Structure 1
């Protein structure tokens, strides 16, 4: 007779980051449920405790405490963005419970040996977008726009800016804003009237879509291309932006069209359960679940917090649905798996060859 393995699963189910948090949480749960069905060592089963961070740091800290003290979890999966993880990871470290977060910021790992992340660092992933912009799209001038209230977006913009400068691409403007604003008229007018080849936006999915709509309405030259980070690889981005976001290039962690048997099985299972195809964030959540399950499997029939942490620290070259199909880490526990380039065409994401 196996035992229950309590796992805390929390992401932004409401608020600004729900565009990512909802599919992430759904896919995490799917990975754990599939592991239960397939069988874990000793006949153990995951017991899932859920939480909604609402994208709020205070809520993250509260839920980490609740998961550990009340629910006695062996591991925490989530939260959704770097800022949340930077708030919650120190608490998990203090209480010696492994936490496996989504965010891209290297600062998550720096909070201590109990903190891990699934997403590759901004420098790693943004080099794919920089290469596309310079070599395929022939971008000579670019405008960078980012939400300065999110550490991940700040890091992604800086990484892309560094890449483009080295490639002798002129950064004609570097605009910052806060995503809680909704009227971008002044910013949109300024950007639309500044000569450029491309506009990069790093902000929440619906916010980015809204900004693109307003920039187009302000009279943008139709030849200017929009490019963005994996945030835009979201069903929420396409739904909010409609025709205005058609043609946008996105560097993504995940391609739903990946023909690998593992991914096709995931797409089928996710679509059947949640009645919609997985987007970048569902792929990210599922991969995080795959890594978590592998660590718990490796911890054997009698897992505990320390064993799971030790196995997470050892994990490398795990087969996942992301990027090139393999999640690997360097000596500093920074993950990489390659990037996937997508373009929005007629409301769907098409892989860029």
Structure 2
């Protein structure tokens, strides 16, 4: 009996020591993040990085995760290349042993990196990947970005109702998964709304001269140009359209790629009148959003965009999943993510069974005026 009692006492002391060690564990929980930090599309990735970093500071100031462990992010620059995004995912999983990856920035990159994370059973969360089929990659692939399939129909229907649009020209980048997917949604929506498509013109993501397509469009005299492009190409198209004499009354109606303040910065007055849909608006009056906007401006000397806002909320969503999982364990985090509920700067959020945003009712339609987006009224 005495031997048994001593063994029980020793076990109790060991358990207490382990529990104490766990309580004192201040090792950072390091996550991976794959974003475009250099190159033409870094405008998106840098905004996302800033959103993450602002959230990271707030989370750690509030105590971190798992009872006091700081959260950390290991960034990998994809430079907008899917091969680089793929290698970044392999590095973060194989060398850095991260339990979760944030990103990549573009859908093209997710279609490359997502299968690797899914195969290795590491959850990967896209904050800006809106193409069709992203979460169909596998059960470890999530996204907090609202799909274009939910945003574009609202945008086009609003433009039709407000401006009586009947005839349009369509332009899209045909060598990018995101812009091609958005075009597919545009095509189906235009057909459903009974809007006539006069011509469909394509271009490459690295093209800078759009004069041939725009000259043809000018001769057809459409009510609007429906455009699926990333912001660099969209800015060039807006500039060249006005230079060629396409009337400013011929609206440019865009997908998510145009939803960046950089459009106004690059194209100036030529971008005025551009119409886009968004799940977020900088002018939302709720306290959480206004506090985020103020903090972002104070830290970076610039205003946040939709991509920064989505990134900010996403890190809080992931932090909640880590706490619910009870450990930086990929499988437990994956199971916890699907159950997370969070109200942030984007509004209430939860995942659907397909690991997409469950609530897609918060789309607002914006128009650019004086180089800045405002609500279309």
Category of TM-score, reference length = shorter chain:
over 0.9
Please state whether the residue corresponding to 1:156 is helix, strand or coil.
helix
Please state whether the residue corresponding to 1:44 is helix, strand or coil.
coil
| Structure 1 counterpart of 2:150 | 124
Instruction: Give the TM-score taking structure 1 as reference length.
Output: 0.94
Q: Which sections of structure 1, spanning at least 5 residues, go unmatched?
A: none
| Structure 1 counterpart of 2:40 | 16
Q: Verify the 8 A CA contact 2:32 2:102 in the aligned structure 1.
A: yes
| Structure 1 counterpart of 2:308 | 282
| Structure 2 counterpart of 1:312 | 337
Report Cα offsets for 1:232-269 as digits up to 9, x if no partner: 12121111101100121111232111111111111111
CA distance in 2, matches of 1:137, 1:318: 36
Deviation at 1:63, TM superposition (A): 0.8
Aligned residues: 349
| Structure 1 counterpart of 2:27 | 3
| CA RMSD, Structure 1 to Structure 2 (Å) | 1.5
Greater gyration radius = 2
| Structure 2 counterpart of 1:247 | 273
CA distance in 2, matches of 1:30, 1:98: 22
CA distance in 1, matches of 2:174, 2:316: 32
Deviation at 1:26, TM superposition (A): 1.2
Q: Which sections of structure 2, spanning at least 5 residues, go unmatched?
A: 1-23
Deviation at 1:89, TM superposition (A): 0.7
| Structure 2 counterpart of 1:88 | 113
| Structure 2 counterpart of 1:180 | 206
CA distance in 1, matches of 2:274, 2:131: 24
CA distance in 2, matches of 1:19, 1:211: 18
Instruction: Give the TM-score taking structure 2 as reference length.
Output: 0.89
| Structure 2 counterpart of 1:326 | 348
Deviation at 1:193, TM superposition (A): 1.9
After TM superposition, the structure 1 stretch with the greater mean CA deviation from structure 2, 156-165 or 72-81, is 156-165
Q: Verify the 8 A CA contact 2:117 2:124 in the aligned structure 1.
A: yes
Deviation at 1:107, TM superposition (A): 2.1
Deviation at 1:274, TM superposition (A): 1.2
Q: Verify the 8 A CA contact 2:279 2:364 in the aligned structure 1.
A: yes
The residue correspondences of 1:1-353 to structure 2 (distance < 5 A) are 1=24, 2-39=26-63, 40-101=65-126, 102-300=128-326, 302-315=327-340, 317-322=341-346, 325-335=347-357, 336-337=359-360, 338-353=362-377
CA distance in 1, matches of 2:371, 2:287: 25
Report Cα offsets for 1:262-304 as digits up to 9, x if no partner: 111111111111110101221222232232222223223x331
Please state whether the residue corresponding to 2:121 is helix, strand or coil.
coil
Please state whether the residue corresponding to 1:327 is helix, strand or coil.
strand
| Structure 1 counterpart of 2:5 | none
Deviation at 1:221, TM superposition (A): 2.5
Q: Verify the 8 A CA contact 2:238 2:267 in the aligned structure 1.
A: yes
CA distance in 2, matches of 1:289, 1:138: 41
Q: Verify the 8 A CA contact 1:83 1:152 in the aligned structure 2.
A: yes
